[in-house]
A and B are shown apart, each in its own frame.
Chain A
Amino acid sequence: MKVRARDPKEAWREDFESSQARDDGIETSTISGIPLQPLYTSADLPGRPEELPGQFPYTRGIHPSGYRGRLWTMRQFSGFATAEETNRRYKYLLANGQTGLSVAFDMPTLMGQDSDAPTSRGEIGHCGVAIDSLADMETLFEGIPLADITTSMTINSPAAILLCMYIAVAEEQGVPASRLGGTLQNDILKEFIAQKEFIFPPGPSMRLVVDSIEYCAKEVPQWNTISISGYHIREAGSTAAQELAFTLADGMAYVDACIERGMRIDDFAPRLSFFFDAHIDFFEEIAKFRAARRIWARWMRERYGAQDERSLKLRFHTQTAGVSLTAQQPELNIARTAIEALAAVLGGTQSLHTNAMDEVLALPTDKSARIALRTQQLLAYESGVANTIDPLGGSYFIESLTDEMERQAEIYFKRIEDLGGVIPAIEASFFQKEIADSAFRYQQELEQKRRIMIGVNDFTVDEEAPIEILRIDPRLEAEQVARVRDVRRKRDQARCTNALSSLKKAAAGSDNLMPYILEAVRAYATEGEIMNTLIEVFGIYTEQAVV
Chain B
Amino acid sequence: MSPTTVRPVRIIVAKVGLDGHDRGVKVVARALRDAGYEVIYTGLRQTPEMVVDAALQEDAQVIGLSIHSGAHMTLFPAVVQELKRRKATDIVVFGGGIIPDDDIAALKKQGVEKLFTPGTPLQEIVDWLRQRFPKESA
Interchain CB contact (< 8 A) of B119 among A120, A453, A469, A542: A453
Answer yes or no: A371 CB below 8 A from chain B CBs: no
Pick the interface stretch among B23-31, B83-91, B105-113, B130-138: B23-31
**A contact residues around B119 at 8 Å (CB):** 326-328, 453, 455-456
List B51-104 residues whose CB lies under 8 Å from chain A. Answer: 69-75, 98, 100-101
The interface bits of chain B over 115-138 (1 if a CB of A lies within 8 angstroms of the residue's CB, else 0) are: 001110111000000000000000
State the Cβ distance, B53 to closest chain A Cβ, in Å.
Answer: 16
Interface contact B118-A362, CB-CB below 8 Å: no
Identity of the chain B residue whose Cβ is nearest the Cβ of A453 in the assembled complex: B119
Answer yes or no: A348 CB below 8 A from chain B CBs: no
Known: A457-B121, A543-B44. A122 touches B17 (CB 8 A): yes
**B contact residues around A119 at 8 Å (CB):** 18, 45, 47
Name 8 interchain pairs, CB-CB below 8 A, sorted by A. Answer: A107-B18, A111-B18, A126-B69, A126-B71, A127-B69, A196-B20, A197-B20, A440-B26
**B contact residues around A469 at 8 Å (CB):** 100
Answer yes or no: A447 CB below 8 A from chain B CBs: yes
Answer yes or no: A547 CB below 8 A from chain B CBs: yes
Interface contact A195-B41, CB-CB below 8 Å: no
Interface contact A360-B118, CB-CB below 8 Å: yes
Q: How far is the CA of A496 from the CA of B122 in the complex (A)?
A: 52
**B contact residues around A546 at 8 Å (CB):** 26
Interface contact A547-B18, CB-CB below 8 Å: no
With A122-B75, A195-B21 given, name 14 new contacts (CB 8 A). A107-B17, A107-B69, A123-B17, A127-B70, A191-B20, A326-B118, A327-B117, A362-B98, A436-B30, A443-B27, A447-B123, A543-B43, A547-B29, A547-B39
State the Cβ distance, A358 to closest chain B Cβ, in Å.
Answer: 10
Identity of the chain B residue whose Cβ is nearest the Cβ of A456 in the assembled complex: B119
List A64-120 residues whose CB lies under 8 Å from chain B. Answer: 107-108, 110-111, 119-120
**A contact residues around B121 at 8 Å (CB):** 446-447, 457
Binding site for A on B (CB under 8 A): 17-23, 26-27, 29-31, 33, 39, 41-45, 47, 69-75, 98, 100-101, 117-119, 121-123
**A contact residues around B72 at 8 Å (CB):** 122
**A contact residues around B43 at 8 Å (CB):** 542-545
Answer yes or no: A390 CB below 8 A from chain B CBs: no
Identity of the chain B residue whose Cβ is nearest the Cβ of A195 in the assembled complex: B20
Interface contact A547-B74, CB-CB below 8 Å: no
List A428-484 residues whose CB lies under 8 Å from chain B. Answer: 435-436, 439-440, 443, 446-447, 453, 455-457, 466, 469, 472
Interchain CB contact (< 8 A) of A107 among B42, B71, B117, B118: B71
Answer yes or no: A506 CB below 8 A from chain B CBs: no
State the Cβ distance, A141 to closest chain B Cβ, in Å.
Answer: 24
Interchain CB contact (< 8 A) of A110 among B18, B23, B29, B122: B18
State the Cβ distance, B115 to closest chain A Cβ, in Å.
Answer: 12
Answer yes or no: A236 CB below 8 A from chain B CBs: yes
Interface contact A439-B75, CB-CB below 8 Å: no
**B contact residues around A111 at 8 Å (CB):** 18
**A contact residues around B33 at 8 Å (CB):** 547
**B contact residues around A439 at 8 Å (CB):** 23, 26-27
**A contact residues around B69 at 8 Å (CB):** 107, 123, 126-127
Q: How far is the CA of A107 from the CA of B29 in the complex (A)?
A: 24
**Interface class of chain A by DSSP:** loop
**A contact residues around B70 at 8 Å (CB):** 123, 126-127, 362, 472
Q: How far is the CA of A323 from the CA of B31 in the complex (A)?
A: 19
Identity of the chain B residue whose Cβ is nearest the Cβ of A126 in the assembled complex: B70
Answer yes or no: A237 CB below 8 A from chain B CBs: yes
Identity of the chain A residue whose Cβ is nearest the Cβ of B99 in the assembled complex: A361
Interface contact A237-B23, CB-CB below 8 Å: yes
Interface contact A236-B22, CB-CB below 8 Å: yes
Q: How far is the CA of A120 from the CA of B47 in the complex (A)?
A: 11
Identity of the chain B residue whose Cβ is nearest the Cβ of A435 in the assembled complex: B23
Identity of the chain A residue whose Cβ is nearest the Cβ of B29 in the assembled complex: A547
Answer yes or no: A121 CB below 8 A from chain B CBs: yes
Which residue of B22, B39, B69 has the most chain A CB atoms within 10 A of its CB atom? B22
A-B complex: 10 closest residue pairs judged by Cβ atoms: A122-B74, A196-B20, A126-B70, A545-B43, A122-B71, A107-B18, A456-B119, A123-B71, A547-B29, A107-B69
Identity of the chain B residue whose Cβ is nearest the Cβ of A122 in the assembled complex: B74
Identity of the chain B residue whose Cβ is nearest the Cβ of A436 in the assembled complex: B26
Interchain CB contact (< 8 A) of A122 among B26, B41, B45, B73: B73
Q: How far is the CA of A110 from the CA of B26 in the complex (A)?
A: 22
Known: A195-B20, A237-B23. A440 touches B118 (CB 8 A): no
Which residue of B26, B121, B123 has the most chain A CB atoms within 10 A of its CB atom? B26
Which residue of B21, B31, B73, B98 has the most chain A CB atoms within 10 A of its CB atom? B21
Q: How far is the CA of A111 from the CA of B44 in the complex (A)?
A: 13
Interface contact A127-B19, CB-CB below 8 Å: yes
Interface contact A123-B18, CB-CB below 8 Å: yes
**A contact residues around B18 at 8 Å (CB):** 107-108, 110-111, 119-120, 123
Q: How far is the CA of A545 from the CA of B101 in the complex (A)?
A: 30
Interface contact B19-A107, CB-CB below 8 Å: yes
Identity of the chain B residue whose Cβ is nearest the Cβ of A362 in the assembled complex: B100
Interface contact A545-B71, CB-CB below 8 Å: no
Interchain CB contact (< 8 A) of A360 among B31, B73, B98, B101: B98
Identity of the chain B residue whose Cβ is nearest the Cβ of A472 in the assembled complex: B70
Which residue of A110, A443, A545 has the most chain B CB atoms within 10 A of its CB atom? A545
Interchain CB contact (< 8 A) of A545 among B23, B42, B47: B42
Q: How far is the CA of A469 from the CA of B101 in the complex (A)?
A: 11
Interchain CB contact (< 8 A) of A447 among B42, B118, B122: B122
**A contact residues around B29 at 8 Å (CB):** 547
Interface contact A547-B71, CB-CB below 8 Å: no
